[in-house]
Structure 1
C-alpha cells in the first residue's frame, strides 16, 4: 500500500511535517509494510518556509527584525535553489515576521501593528545579493496595507502637517502624500513571488479589513475606519505609480501587504501551487492508494483555494483517492464531501481548544489508526 501524507500545518499545534509523521506512525501500526511518503506543504501561511526548505533541500537562517507590535523578533527564513533557476531564492513568511501568533493573547492591535519587519528582512537579504524572493502572506497580525514595509524600503509618507509616518494601520487615514522615488533601486532587479491563496481585493466588503480585520482585533468601528484609510492610502500610491492594483485578487492578503508587494513589482501566485510544484506532488501521488491531507479547520474558506482543495485536485488527476483529516469541520460540509472520498475531524470528544491543541499529535494518530483499521477490514 502506498500512502501520500500531504497536510497543511495545524496552526498552533502541529507543523505539516509533524502531522504527516503522526499519520505515518498510525498507518504503520496497521499496515507494517505500507509505503508512507510525508510531503510537508503550506499555502503561503505558517509552515511555508519549512515546506520549501524540505522540498528543495534548502537551508535555514535567522534574521533579526521588528515584530508586529514594535518589539525585536527573530524570523526564520529559507534559502533554496528552485528547479527553474540556479539563483538563490529567499523564502519568507509573514507569519514569522509580523504574524498573529507572535502577539500575546488579548494584545492584538490592528491600529498599531506594522509590516516594518518584512521590509527589514528584504533589506538585509538585498545587502547579501539576494534578488529572488518568495514571500508567503498567510497569518499576519497587521492591517497596514504594507505601509510599514514600504517605509523601510525607502517610500516616504507624510501627514497633513508634513510629518513623516513610519507605517501602521492607524496611520493609513493620516497619510496625505506619498513619495516612492526613494524606494531602494535594487528592487527593480528583483523577482518577487507573492505566495497566497487569498483572493480578496484590497478594500470594500470583500477586502482585507472587512473580511479579516475582526480576527486581528479590529472592532466594527475600527474596521470601517481602517478600510476608509486603506482606500485613500492606496489611491495615493497608485497615483504616484500611474498604475492600479487595488482590485487585483490577493491585493488584500496579509492586511493589504499583497497590494504593497504588487506596487514594487511582485507577482501573485498560488502559495499551495508553488509549493506543490517544488515538492513534485503530482509525480509523488501517482500510484498512491490513498492521499491524506488536512488543516486546523476545514470549512467554506477551504473551498476557496486552501491547500487541501489543491491536494484533492492533484489526487483526482492522478487517479488516487483523497481523504480530508482536519482538526475540526465547519460549514458547507456538503460541498467539501464532493471533493474528497471522506471528511473527518480528528477530535474524539468535546474538549477545549487548548486541550485539542495540546493533544493534536495523539489525536491525529488515533484518528488515522482507526481509519486504516477500517480500510484493512474492508480488504478482507
Structure 2
C-alpha cells in the first residue's frame, strides 16, 4: 500500500507538517508496512511559507521590515530546499509584513496602511539570491494598490511638486508622476508567482475597496475615497507606463497589491494551491498511490473554490484517476456533498463530540490520529 499524505494546516492547531504526521501516526497503527509519502500543502494563504519550506527541506529566514502602520517588526519568509542557486526560490506571505493582525480592530484605517514592508521582504529575498518569488497575498491590512511595495522596490510616486506622496491608499489622489528609473534591476530578472484565488478587479463595485475595504475598517465614505484613489492610480499607471491594471482579474487582491505587482514586476497570477502543488511535485509523488489523505481546519461549500483539499484531489487524480481521496477537518460544514463530484471521496470530522473550541484545538493532534486510524481500519475492512 502507498499512501500520500497532503494536508493543509489546521489553523491555530497544527501546521501542515504536524497534521501530516498525525495522519501517518494513525494509519501506521493499521498499516505498519505501508509506504508513506509526506507532502505538506497550502493554498497561498496562512501557512504557505511553512508548508513549502517543510515540503522541500528548505529553511526560514527573518528580516526587519515596516508593518502596515510603518512600525518596525520582524517578519519571516522561506527559501525552498529543492532548487539550486540558478533557480533559487523564495516564498513570502504578504501578511507577514502587511497583515491585518498588526492593526487593532478598533483603530483600523486602510487610508494610511501600506504594503511597504512586503516590498522590503521581496528585496531581502533578492539579497538571498532568489530568482523566483512565490508571493501569497491573503490577509492584508492594506488598500494602497501595492504602491508601498513598489516604493520599496525603487518606484517613486510623486505629486505635482515632484515630492514623494505619503504612503497609504488615502493619498493616491495626489499622484502625478510614476518614476520607475530607480527600480532595482534584479526585479526585471525575477519571476514572481502571485498565489491568489481572488479574481476581483482593482476598482468598481467588485473591486478591492468595495469588497475588502470594510473588513479592514473602511467606512462607506472611505470605500468611495479609496476606490476613486485607486482609479486615479490606475489611470496614471496606464497613461505613463502603458499598463492597464484597473479591471484585470485578480488585480484587486490584497487591497490592490495584485495591481502593483502586475504593473511593476515580472509577475503572473495562479491559484495558490496550484502553485504549491507544482512546487512540491505532488502529481509526480502521488503516482502509484492507493490513497491520498488531505484536510484542513474547516471544510464546507467554500472548499471547492480553490481550497487545499479540492486542489489536492484534482492534482493527484491527474495521472492516477483511481486513487482514493479522503479529507479530514476539524469542522465539517454545509455543502460538502459538492466535493464528491469533483474528486474527494469522503470527508471526516475529527472532533469526537461537543466540546469547547479551546479543547478541540488542544486535542486536535490526538483526534486526528484517532480519525486516521479509524479510516485505516475501514480501508483494511474493505480489503478482506
TM-score (norm 2): 0.86
Distance 2:52 2:28 in 1: 26
Post-superposition CA distance 1:337-378 (Å, at most 9, x none): 322111233334445554444443233223323333333344
Matched, 1:124 2:127: no
Asked if the contact 2:277–2:315 (Cα under 8 Å) also holds between the matched residues in 1, the reply is: no
Distance 1:161 1:351 in 2: 62
Matched, 1:259 2:259: yes
Which of 305, 321, 326 is matched with 1:323 structurally? 326
Post-superposition CA distance 1:55-102 (Å, at most 9, x none): 433332211111233232222222236669833232222132222345
Report 1:352-367 matches (<5 A): 352-367=356-371
Name the structure 2 match of 1:270. 271
Name the structure 2 match of 1:48. 48
Point out where structure 2 has 5 or more consecutive residues left out of the alignment.
none
Point out where structure 1 has 5 or more consecutive residues left out of the alignment.
none
Name the structure 1 match of 2:35. 35
Report 1:7-46 matches (<5 A): 7-46=7-46
Name the structure 2 match of 1:371. 375
Asked if the contact 1:149–1:167 (Cα under 8 Å) also holds between the matched residues in 2, the reply is: no
Distance 2:218 2:352 in 1: 33
Which of 330, 335, 341 is matched with 1:338 structurally? 341
Report 1:96-111 matches (<5 A): 96-103=96-103, 108-111=108-111
Name the structure 1 match of 2:183. 184
Distance 2:27 2:285 in 1: 18
SS in 1 for 2:13: coil
Name the structure 2 match of 1:242. 242
Distance 1:330 1:239 in 2: 47
Name the structure 1 match of 2:6. 6
- How many equivalent residue pairs? 379
Cα RMSD after superposing both structures: 2.8
Post-superposition CA distance 1:195-227 (Å, at most 9, x none): 223333222333333333344344455444433
Alpha-carbon spacing, 1:236–1:358, altered in 2? closer, same or farther (3 Å)? farther
SS in 1 for 2:32: coil
Asked if the contact 2:153–2:184 (Cα under 8 Å) also holds between the matched residues in 1, the reply is: no
Task: State the Cα distance separating 1:241 from its structure 2 match.
Answer: 1.2
Name the structure 2 match of 1:314. 315
Matched, 1:284 2:285: yes
Post-superposition CA distance 1:9-67 (Å, at most 9, x none): 22333211111111111222333333332211112222222233234333322111112
TM-score (norm 1): 0.87
Distance 1:311 1:96 in 2: 25
